[in-house]
C-alpha cells in the first residue's frame, strides 16, 4: 500500500486523491443573488449535513488563486441562499451552470432553468429541482492556503424545505423517486444503485 505525505504534493495532486477517494459525493446546486440582483447558480460537491437540530448544511467553496467565487461572496454579503438536490432529470442543465461567466451574467438564465420565488428569503430557487432548501448563513470561515485562504467554508441553516409531492410519503423521501446523482472524479457521475439494509447493533 502506498503511503504519501500530502505536504509533498501539489494542490492538484491532493485534489485528485480526495475526489477519487471520497465518493460518491452529493451535489448541491446553489442559487444566490448578487448586490446588483443577478441570480447566480453553481454546483458544488463539497457539500453535506451538519446538524438536524437545527437543520444545517455545510458547503465548501474552493477559491482560485485566492480569489473568492461569486457564490461565496454573494452568500457572505446577503446571508441568504438556496440549496437544490441535483437529480437525473436536471443534471444536464445544472452541469451547464458550471461555466465560468462574468459576475454580471446569470448561469440560471444560461442553462434555461426556471426561477421560482422563495417563501422566507429573497433569493429565488429553480423549479427543475425536486428538493430545494431555503438557507440563512449561520457561519462562514476562511480556510487553508499558505498566504491566502484556499476556500470559504459555509454553514447554512435551513429555514424552509420544498419537496415534490411525488417523492414524499409519511415524512420520508423516496430515494428512487428523487433519483439524486452524485459526483465522482473527472467527468464522472453516479446514480443511485442497489439499495440494501443493515440493522444497527442493539
Domain map (residue ranges) of the chain = 25-187
Q: Is the separation of the CB atoms in 121 and 82 below 8 Å?
A: yes
Instruction: Supply the pLDDT for residue 159.
Output: 98
Mean pLDDT value across the chain? 95
pTM: 0.94
Instruction: Supply the pLDDT for residue 103.
Output: 84
At 149-195, the pLDDT tens digits run 889 999 999 999 999 999 999 899 999 999 999 999 999 999 999 99
Give the residues across from 131 on adjacent strands. 163
Instruction: Name the band, by pLDDT with cuts 50, 70 and 90, for residue 20.
Output: very high
Of the candidates 106, 44, 38, the residue with the CA atom closest to the CA atom of residue 78: 38
Of the candidates 46, 73, 74, the residue with the CA atom closest to the CA atom of residue 58: 46
At 101-119, the pLDDT tens digits run 888 899 999 999 999 999 9
| Three-state DSSP class for residue 108 | helix
Nine-digit cell at 47?
457539500
| Fold (topology level) of 25-187 | Pnp Oxidase; Chain A (2.30.110)
Amino acid at each position: 500500500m502506498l503511503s504519501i505525505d500530502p505536504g509533498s504534493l501539489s494542490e492538484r495532486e491532493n485534489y485528485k486523491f480526495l475526489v477519487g477517494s471520497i465518493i460518491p459525493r452529493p451535489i448541491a446546486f446553489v442559487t444566490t443573488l448578487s448586490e446588483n440582483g443577478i441570480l447566480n447558480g453553481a454546483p458544488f460537491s463539497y457539500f453535506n449535513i451538519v446538524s438536524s437540530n437545527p437543520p444545517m448544511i455545510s458547503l465548501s467553496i474552493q477559491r482560485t488563486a485566492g480569489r473568492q467565487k461569486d457564490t461565496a461572496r454573494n452568500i457572505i454579503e446577503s446571508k441568504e441562499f438556496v440549496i437544490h438536490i441535483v437529480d437525473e432529470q436536471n443534471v444536464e442543465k445544472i452541469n451547464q451552470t458550471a461555466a465560468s461567466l462574468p459576475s454580471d451574467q446569470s448561469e440560471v438564465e444560461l442553462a434555461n432553468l426556471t426561477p421560482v420565488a422563495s417563501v422566507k428569503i429573497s433569493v429565488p430557487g429553480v423549479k427543475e429541482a425536486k428538493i430545494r432548501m431555503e438557507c440563512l448563513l449561520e457561519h462562514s470561515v476562511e480556510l487553508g492556503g499558505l498566504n491566502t485562504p484556499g476556500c470559504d467554508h459555509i454553514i447554512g441553516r435551513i429555514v424552509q424545505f420544498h419537496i415534490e409531492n411525488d417523492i414524499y410519503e409519511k415524512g420520508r423521501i423516496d430515494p428512487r423517486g428523487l433519483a439524486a446523482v452524485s459526483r465522482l472524479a473527472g467527468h464522472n457521475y453516479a446514480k443511485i444503485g442497489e439499495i440494501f439494509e443493515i440493522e444497527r447493533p442493539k
